[in-house]
Structure 1
Amino acid sequence: MLSGQQTSIVKKTKIRSIKTEYLFLLPAVVFLLFFMIYPIVYNLLLSFKNVTLMNLVGIQEFVGLSNYKTVLKDPTFALSIKNSLIFTILSIVFQFTIGLALALYFNRKFPGRGIMRALVLVTWMLPIVVVGAIFNWLFAGDYGLINYFLQTVGIIDSPIPWLASSSTALYVVIIANIWIGIPFNMIILLGGLQGIPEELYEAARIDGANSIQRFFSVTIPLLKPTIMILLMLGIIYTFKTFDVIIVMTKGGPNNSTSLMPFYAYQLAFERSQFSLGAVVSTIMFGILLVISLFYLKSIGKEESL
């Protein structure tokens, strides 16, 4: 049995230990509060006010849902949602498909595998400004390499204004974004593939499963957690893409490549309508929050099985 003095010392030691643990957590809590929670709350409050360049400092009128009604009635907002959905879906589908194909290829052992894998990753390390300049040159209307190749093989008779046409500009930007995202998808999926025990494939071969059956009965089920995380990160990252748009098209022509992040940027920093920009940002946050909650719910169901 401990004496009263010993019990008091033990309690003080535990309290001191708990205080130390909270002190270690304090920097992370401060970071979350000032750099994540505060901007989100401030942006939400800003969306309910009428804040422009004229009253940025001073009295700011509370207008309720008026800003939301204004944005929802704007045809450009509807177009930006449509563009964002097309951009996100096509980018994710092709990035994932090509990335998975490359991951399966590089998961095999062959001479020069490391060098080839490193060359693929180089494209992911290029700055977005460089990537945008490359694709602007490739798809240039008069002197672009794509038009030159298509004319040389006789597919087209005259140059196509890829980036100057409302019907093609968005798809050119999507191609550029797919090219940017393929290495990331490949390396994440490759890591998942290398974590699958070879014994499972041997057991499937003994049971008479061919390569396609092994892919769907062994590879895909064991790769599912990696796939879900990758798709989740890909959707969030792609849906809020801004840099590729500003470098390649600046939302044009005729807002045909204006995505939701760029539309929010236009409202806030080009037109100085900060509250309307905050509305678009808040709607984006709501959409991504719903997607995140759906993902967490799916993960919860998987873990409970």
Structure 2
Amino acid sequence: MDQVTETAAAAPGAGAPVRAAVRRTPARRRFARALAPLPWLAPALALIAFVVLWPVWEMFQTSRQHINSFGFDLGDYGWKNYTAVFDDPNLASVMTRTAVWVFAVVALTVVISLAFAQLFNQKFPGRKVVRWALIAPWAASVMMTSIVVRWMLNPNNGVINVFLHQIGVVKQFNQGTASWLGNPTDAMYWMVAVAVFVSVPFTTYALLAGLTSIPTEVYEAARVDGAGRARTYWSITFPLLRPALTVAILINLMNVFNSFPIIWVMTQGGPDNQTSTSTVYMYNLKTLNIGQAGALSVINFGVVIAIVLIFLRANKNSLKEG
């Protein structure tokens, strides 16, 4: 028996297939283990493919087609739609306005939500009622909220204008002088206010969840060490709140950048596209040139992906801590 074993081991090339077989077995096992979760992930992957990947592919295909004003596809158009979009004289102002819109809404939302989260984290009479009341702007339809505010800003009989006339701010009532949504600057202020109003509830609850997860022992140790409220907040609360804050900011960045109902309902991007963000401008461009609208939608998608990746890169330590 020993001779057979020695002969097989001494034979030229006899050991190579055996070693190869030994090496291949663990590889097959690792591959099988990697595929084991696939049946559980398949529904989610199929949904992502159907809801995200397929529309993105169709959007890219549309951006390279020559589609006339009647909606007929005249064939491949190459990159001419993208060239036309970048040559559009309105693009620079639209993208600048979009950046200002996103920064203003997200910054104000986070600051206000931080204050509300700190308030709701305290014990006071009626705290549950106040917390429930905060859900109302979030639970209501964004379009419905925008329509109500637009009615309130009606230059002739809007509630806001009636009130401002009664306190003497608006002197010439019923003459259209207080057309807030007719002035691009004033309209942007009001649209930012509505966007913050509907964004604060979710952000507040996200930050409140982060606050409630902070151990009370940490605060007790800080008090023993003699740390004041300001020192405790900046040295303990804010660092431990960063994971929740990072997630809240990231979700708000994507939602606000892609926001459509507020601007569309209140101004439709007017007058003369002076209140349009890139999303609203893309929709208005669709009525003129579907291919260019598709190209701008691809650009918007790329901007969103870039914002997410940059933000995640800058805050990867916070996410690991969370």
- Give TM-score, length-normalised by structure 2: 0.82
Whole-angstrom CA distance in 1 between matches of 2:136 and 2:229 = 31
What are the within-5 Å matches in structure 2 for residues 1-305 of structure 1? 21-54=37-70, 56-57=72-73, 59-64=74-79, 66-158=80-172, 159-268=177-286, 270-271=287-288, 273-302=289-318
8 Å contact kept, 2:95–2:278: yes
3-state secondary structure, aligned to 1:296: helix
CA contact (8 A) 2:116 2:204 kept: yes
| Code of the aligned partner of 2:54 | Y
Q: Distance in 2 between matches of 1:16 and 1:291?
A: 36
CA distance in structure 2 between the partners assigned to 1:226 and 1:208 by the alignment: 27
- When Rg is computed on C-alpha atoms for both structures, the one with the higher figure is 2
Q: CA deviation at 1:303?
A: 6.5
Residues 202-248 of structure 1: per-residue CA shift (max 9 Å, x gap): 11122221111111111110001111111111011100101112222
Shift in CA distance, 25/147, structure 1 to aligned 2, threshold 3 Å: same
Evaluate the alpha carbon distance shift between residue 55 and residue 109 of structure 1 in structure 2; reply closer, same or farther with a 3 A threshold: closer
1:176 and 1:18, CA in 2 relative to 1: closer, same or farther beyond 3 A? closer
1:10-45 residue CA offsets vs partner (Å, 9 max, x unmatched):
xx9999987764233322222222221122122223
Distance of 1:234 and 1:81 partners within structure 2: 18
- How large is the Cα RMSD of the aligned pairs? 2.7
Change (3 A) 1:303 1:70: closer
CA spacing shift, 1:205–1:294, aligned 2, 3 Å: same
Aligned to 1:254, what secondary structure does the other structure show?
coil
- Alignment check: 8 A CA contact 2:180 2:187 kept: yes
Instruction: State TM-score, norm by structure 1.
Output: 0.87
Cα separation, partners in 2 of 1:259 and 1:16, compared to 1, 3 Å:
closer
Q: Give SS of 2:168's match.
A: coil
Q: Structure 1 unaligned runs (5+)?
A: 1-11
Letter in structure 2 aligned against 1:207: D
Unaligned runs of 5+ in 2: 1-27
Q: Using the alignment, how far apart are the partners of 2:32 and 2:310 within structure 1?
A: 40
Quickly say closer, same or farther: Cα 1:186–1:304, change in 2 above 3 A: closer
How high is the sequence identity, in percent, across the aligned residues?
28
- Distance (Å, rounded) in 2 between the aligned partners of 1:172 and 1:304: 37
Query: What is the number of residues matched between the two proteins?
Result: 293
Aligned amino acid, residue 93 of structure 2: L
